[in-house]
Amino acid sequence: MKSIATLGPEHSQSWQAAVQYDNKAEIRLYPHVKALLDAFAAHEVEYAVLPVYNTREGEKKQYFRFFDQIKSGYWVDNVILHSTLSLGVFDEETTGADLRLLVGKREAFNQCEEFIENRLPGVTELSVQDIEQAVADIRREGATKGKAVIDSAETLNALGLRIVEREVAPHNRTRYAVLGHSLAPVTGYDATTLITEPLDDRVGILVDILSEFSRRGINIADMRTENDIKTQKLRIYLEAEGHIQTDTLASALAHIESRVIQQQGMIRVLGSFPRVDMRTKYIKSFGFIGTGAMSRWFADRLESEGYEVALTGRSTALRPEEMVRQVDVVVVCVPISVTSAIVRQYGPLIGPGKALILLAGESEETIKAALASTNDEVEIMLMHNLWGPQAATMKDKNAIMVRTPRSGMFCSEFEAFLYKHGADIYHDSPSKHDLLMGIGQKLPTLISVALAMTLHDNGITSEDIASHCTLTSLYPILAMSRVHSQNPRTYAEIMSTAGDSRKIVVDFAKNLQRVIDMADAASIAGLCDVIDANAGHLSESFLQARMQQAKAVDEVLGRMM
């Protein structure tokens, strides 16, 4: 039988957490943390369960001092206990107005501080370590009138007290660390905790450490710093997403020790465990219609966040019509030209209380199709990601969100997922999205394709271009090369989008012809007036910011020419 050490007495919150972790295990109770950890270190028990964080109280004690007491073993799992702290009295006739003495543990008083201040002002608080013993002492003395106890409802009931107020600390959850003697295996949805030894002073060391995680796309779930009591040197506690046995996290820690801290043995891994999220998640599952590279890219990252993900398409065993009935959120990720048709085909099958998220580059017509073909209780939102499946992370990539009157908590949770992974999020109306995509995607792609056609028509080779380009003229050449070195279907779809993006192309063609006519007529003054008017519309601040970017690009390109 598995043995678990935790803090007593029986029915205490720590005891409840241990039972929640394994209700068939032998629970051994200890009066304080030192005795518990001594028993664990001596291998008298297989596991230890003890509190490390409370949503109302914060960390139970400084992690640095807490983990310094643990000389062996690993943090292998977590238990989240929803604490039902209540107020109990000894006598039937006692009311809140009669109370003069409130008995409880120090952490219970901290968690119930708001309730005590508002409902029991002026009542004397008596902090005790053993509630069971304190209750027995009060009964033995016989002076029970005007006295009350704050503890879990289970403990109050077990001690025979009458509960007069329940849930005196709502939204009260405590995180318990489970310690074991062996490192937990990889699950795919893990986190790793680590702590540094006291670090020598170095400018920017904290920023540099965090940068190593950030550039690898590793999210930091928790971080705390403290000056070591003896040396007053900086110590850092981190909880990072991922398992220590994965290459990404292991390489990050190795690089931090060798290149950032520049001392070996300065990082101690406390453990890896299935990731715990103190925040509420409403979505359990996503289902994709479309099995392309972009669908798989998003699926991998959603699975890393603990969501169940299904990919469906023309050749999958699981059919889309089956999938939409099983998942919380349906994601359509197919070529732009067929998105609306797919939505009209499968939208009617999505049940109320679910969501439809459209990963598409055309907004207005796609959203109209979604709103018309789905139940009124289905959430609808469009997301246009301005990156492809070659991107390593979402960090600093643009994500355009087009919310609708039916975008709700599922849509917000998906948006929070993008934000967490570093995407820069912008909100547009359907028409504004399509208009701006005419500038951002459709027009540049059309120009790139037309430029390549022009080179062909005039017999200009790639060698000719390289020898005659300035840094400024190289920009459109680079865009042209990018378009012609990737999947042509992607860019053909972009050029074929409807909506207001077409207006951008038509207006550009009209203005291009106007400029050509002025240039053919040698209207220097007229062309200067056009450029000055354009500069005024673009604004001085915009032009200065873009010139700074251009200079940075020029510096890189200049080294490559």
The single-letter DSSP state of residue 96 is G
CB 309 within 8 A of CB 327: no
Rounded Cα distance, 242 and 209, in Å: 16
Chain centroid to CA 559: 38
Question: Would you call 60 helix, strand, or coil by DSSP?
Answer: coil
DSSP letter string over 258-281?
Answer: IIII--TT-EEEEEEEE---SS--
- Other Cβ atoms within 10 Å of 345 Cβ, number: 14
pLDDT in tens, 376-398: 999 999 999 999 898 988 988 99
Strand, helix or coil for residue 150: strand
Beta bridge partners, 381, equal: 357, 403
Beta-strand relationship, 173-180 and 329-332: unpaired
Query: What pLDDT does residue 89 have?
Result: 94
User: What is the signed CA dihedral for 83, 87, 89, 92, rounded to 10 degrees?
Assistant: -110
**Residue 406, SS3?**
coil
Q: Rounded to two decimals, what is the model's pTM?
A: 0.65
Q: Each residue's pLDDT tens digit in the chain (561 positions)? A: 899 999 988 888 899 999 999 999 999 999 888 899 999 999 999 999 998 888 887 655 555 677 777 778 999 999 998 877 899 999 888 877 889 999 999 889 999 999 999 989 989 999 998 899 999 999 999 888 899 999 988 889 999 999 998 889 887 888 999 999 999 999 989 999 999 999 998 899 999 999 999 888 899 988 988 888 889 999 999 999 999 999 999 999 999 999 999 999 999 999 999 998 767 789 999 999 999 999 999 999 999 888 999 999 999 999 999 999 999 999 999 998 999 999 999 999 999 999 999 999 888 999 999 999 999 999 999 999 999 898 988 988 999 999 999 999 999 999 999 998 989 999 999 999 888 888 888 888 898 898 889 989 999 887 787 777 776 777 788 888 888 888 888 888 888 887 788 888 899 999 999 999 999 999 999 999 999 999 999 899 988 888 888 787 777 666 665
The residue count of the chain comes to 561
% residues pLDDT > 70 (the chain): 97
Taking the CA of residue 378 as centre, how many other CA atoms within 13 Å lie in the half-sphere pointing to its CB? Answer: 27
The structure tokens 């329940």 sit at 166
Structure tokens at 78: 């977590």
In terms of Cβ atoms closer than 10 Å to its own Cβ (0-12, 13-18, 19+), residue 352 is exposed
Amino acid 216 reads R
3-state secondary structure of 57: coil
